[in-house]
């Protein structure tokens, strides 16, 4: 099939590349000429395991193209995926200006029947707005071309996006046309040879499914973090509690790990957007509001532990931070807990020496830019030199079995703040660390 993907961010680039991997002819479009030039040169703007090799392979074969020319891209394809950003507005709602701008361009340039697919995470009712924007342009042209708008929410996990796309646990399609539904089933069929995981439904239900899924996962995280905070106060151990409840098949072990809060591009934005939608329709989403409030507070928990140990005045103190990305196997720092923790500590006079295997450039260029109290190093042990304590924020694999003797040689004090409960407190005590966990 001939496909155009408008937007070469995380969702667009991964989706377009994986469709090309299956033999489709894919054109990825972006308004950023610099980004397109880099993609043509093989420079990938995001870190995602396996993505770079797949992009280079399909670009070399000619199944994957990059351009800023949306007119030719639209005119020559039968399926157009809208995969542009939907940033969060000040009121928590999803900003649809980029989605609707793409819809307008499609209406201006389409030359034949098309299926227009909302791949961006968008609130319920967006498909109707996209349809109206396209139809308005066709009316201006005096064109009688027909088209269908489809909702196809993505469920990719950063760090495992290629695997998730190539072997999906489900493909959700919302459509009100049998023709469009069949086209989408044919498109995704090669990805589901072992088991048909295609789930068709109406458009509004598909739009809602994405938000409901992320809200449920965020709820599990905030619930466990709240349990962790209670455990600390009553003298229980959240790690043991997690094992006790995770063995219940109705609950399971996924997303019940306590920590210093969730981040990323999906959970914070989607929870707030769904809450805003509910309020717009006259409903107060008490659970969603609580999920967001718990997560906001949780990002400060490690900072509070540091203040309890070292005091409110951190002048002359240096802290090593392991991990900046919101999760391992990505360089994404959007809403990352590390940002909150570092800003809390530097506001009290602390110096930070940070190490992350992939996200350093994001911190330097964007999320911690201008914070003169933060410096960066190229190795995890280098970050420890003469630091008063270490703070683990992101659970990268290379942090799971460190050389504790080497750590103690480099640290000024053997003090470890663990924001992801990676280690056993009894063993850490035996080694000689003053060890702080969450929920213990």
Q: Does residue 408 have a pLDDT over 80?
A: yes
- Structural contact between residues 212 and 238, judged by C-beta atoms closer than 8 angstroms: no
Structure confidence at residue 89 (pLDDT): 79
What's the CA gap between 350 and 365, in Å, rounded?
Answer: 21
Buried b / exposed e along 270-298 (16+ C-beta atoms within 10 A): bbbbbbbbbbeeeeebeebeebbebbeeb
Task: Please indicate if the annotation marks 263 as binding a ligand.
Answer: yes
pLDDT number for residue 294: 98
Would the annotation count 158 as a binding residue? yes
| Residue 327 assigned ligand-binding role | yes
Q: What is the mean predicted confidence (pLDDT) over 20-42? A: 96
pLDDT at residue 110 above 90?
yes
- Find the DSSP H helices in 33-173: 33-40, 51-61, 70-75, 97-109, 126-141, 161-166
Taking only the tens place, the pLDDT of each residue in 292-317 is 999 999 999 999 999 999 999 999 99
In the structure, what pLDDT confidence band is assigned to residue 91 with cuts at 50, 70 and 90? confident
C-alpha to C-alpha distance for 102 and 6, rounded to whole angstroms: 8
**Does 9 belong to an annotated binding site?**
no
Residue 90 reports pLDDT greater than 90: no
Distance of CA 196 to the CA centre of its chain: 26
What does each C-alpha distance from 174 to 147, 244, 317 come to in angstroms? 15, 38, 54
The whole-number pLDDT of residue 121 equals 87
pLDDT of residue 265 exceeding 90: no
Helices (H), 281-362: 286-298, 301-310, 337-347, 360-362
Alpha carbon distance 342, 198 (integer Å): 43
Instruction: Delineate the domains of the chain, giving CATH numbers in brackets.
Output: 2-201 (3.40.50.720), 211-297 (1.10.1040.10), 299-436 (3.40.50.720)
Task: For the beta carbon of residue 388, count every other beta carbon within 10 angstroms.
Answer: 19
Q: Band of the pLDDT at 196, cuts 50, 70, 90?
A: confident
Q: Please give the residue that has the higher pLDDT: either 382 or 157.
A: 382
How far is it, in rounded angstroms, from Cα 258 to Cα 327? 13
Q: Positive or negative, the Cα torsion across 339, 344, 348, 352?
A: negative
Strand pairing partners for 28? Answer: 5, 66
Residues paired with residue 118 on neighbouring β-strands, in sequence order? 82, 151
pLDDT for the residue numbered 75: 93
Query: Do the Cβ atoms of 88 and 267 come closer than 8 Å?
Result: no
CB-CB contact of 416 with 434 (8 Å):
yes
Q: What are phi and psi of 172, to 5 degrees?
A: -100, 125
Residue 92 has pLDDT above 90, yes or no: no
Q: Is the pLDDT of residue 48 over 80?
A: yes
Does residue 259 have a known ligand-binding role?
A: yes
Residue 86 annotated in ligand binding? yes
Q: What is the pLDDT of residue 406?
A: 97
Q: Which is the catalytic residue, given 18, 231, 260, 266?
A: 266
Query: Has 409 been labeled as part of a binding site?
Result: no
User: What is the distance between the alpha carbons of residues 9 and 81, in angstroms, rounded to a whole number?
Assistant: 12
Answer whether residue 195 shows pLDDT above 80. no
Please tell me whether 305 is known to bind a ligand: no
Contact of 158 with 180, CB cutoff 8 Å: no
pLDDT tens digits, residue range 208-225?
999 999 999 999 999 999
Distance, in Å, from the CA atom of 91 to the CA atom of 145, rounded to the nearest integer, reads: 37
Q: Is 262 annotated as a binding residue?
A: no
Whether the predicted pLDDT of 414 surpasses 90: yes
pLDDT for residue 43:
93
Count Cα atoms within 13 angstroms, Cβ side, for 241: 21
Q: In the predicted model, is pLDDT for residue 254 greater than 90?
A: yes
Active-site residue 266, yes or no?
yes
CB-based contacts of 1, cutoff 8 Å, min separation 6: 24, 25, 78, 79, 186, 187
Whether the CB-CB separation of 211 and 174 falls below 8 Å is answered with no
Supply the pLDDT for residue 180: 98
């Amino acid at each position: 099939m001939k496909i155009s993907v408008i937007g070469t961010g995380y969702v667009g680039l991964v989706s377009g590349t994986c469709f090309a991997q299956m033999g489709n002819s894919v054109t990825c479009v972006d308004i950023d000429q610099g980004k397109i030039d880099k993609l043509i040169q093989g420079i990938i703007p995001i870190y995602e395991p396996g993505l770079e090799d797949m992009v280079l392979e399909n670009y070399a074969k000619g199944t994957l193209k990059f351009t800023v020319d949306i007119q030719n891209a639209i005119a020559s394809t039968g399926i157009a995926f809208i995969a542009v950003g939907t940033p969060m507005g000040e009121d928590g709602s999803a900003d649809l200006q980029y989605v609707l701008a793409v819809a307008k361009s499609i209406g201006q340039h389409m030359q034949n029947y098309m299926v227009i697919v909302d791949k961006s995470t968008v609130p319920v009712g967006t498909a109707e707005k996209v349809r109206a924007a396209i139809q308005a342009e066709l009316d201006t042209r005096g064109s009688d071309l027909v088209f269908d708008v489809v909702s196809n929410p993505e469920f990719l996990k950063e760090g495992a996006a290629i695997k998730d796309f190539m072997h999906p646990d489900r493909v959700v399609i919302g459509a009100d046309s049998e023709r469009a539904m069949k086209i989408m089933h044919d498109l995704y069929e090669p990805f589901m040879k072992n088991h048909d995981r295609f789930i068709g439904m109406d458009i509004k239900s598909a739009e809602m499914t994405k938000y409901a899924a992320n809200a449920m996962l965020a709820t599990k995280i905030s619930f466990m973090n709240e349990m962790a905070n209670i455990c600390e106060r009553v003298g229980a151990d959240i790690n043991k509690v997690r094992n006790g409840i995770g063995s219940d098949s109705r609950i399971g072990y996924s997303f019940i790990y306590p920590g210093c809060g969730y981040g990323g591009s999906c959970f914070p934005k989607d929870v707030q957007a769904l809450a805003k939608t509910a309020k717009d329709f006259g409903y107060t989403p008490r659970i969603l509001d609580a999920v967001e409030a718990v997560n906001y507070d949780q990002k400060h928990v490690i900072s509070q532990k540091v203040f309890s140990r070292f005091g409110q005045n951190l002048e002359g103190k240096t802290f090593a931070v392991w991990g900046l990305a919101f999760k391992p196997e990505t360089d994404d720092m959007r809403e990352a807990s590390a940002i909150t923790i570092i800003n809390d500590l530097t506001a009290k006079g602390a110096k930070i020496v940070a190490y992350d295997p992939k996200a350093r450039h994001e911190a330097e260029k964007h999320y911690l830019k201008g914070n003169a109290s933060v410096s960066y190093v190229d190795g995890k042990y280098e970050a420890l030199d003469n630091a008063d304590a270490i703070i683990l924020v992101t659970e990268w694999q290379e942090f799971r079995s460190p050389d504790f003797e080497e750590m103690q040689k480099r640290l000024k004090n053997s003090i470890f703040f663990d924001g992801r409960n990676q280690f056993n407190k009894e063993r850490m005590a035996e080694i000689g660390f003053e060890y702080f966990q969450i929920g213990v």
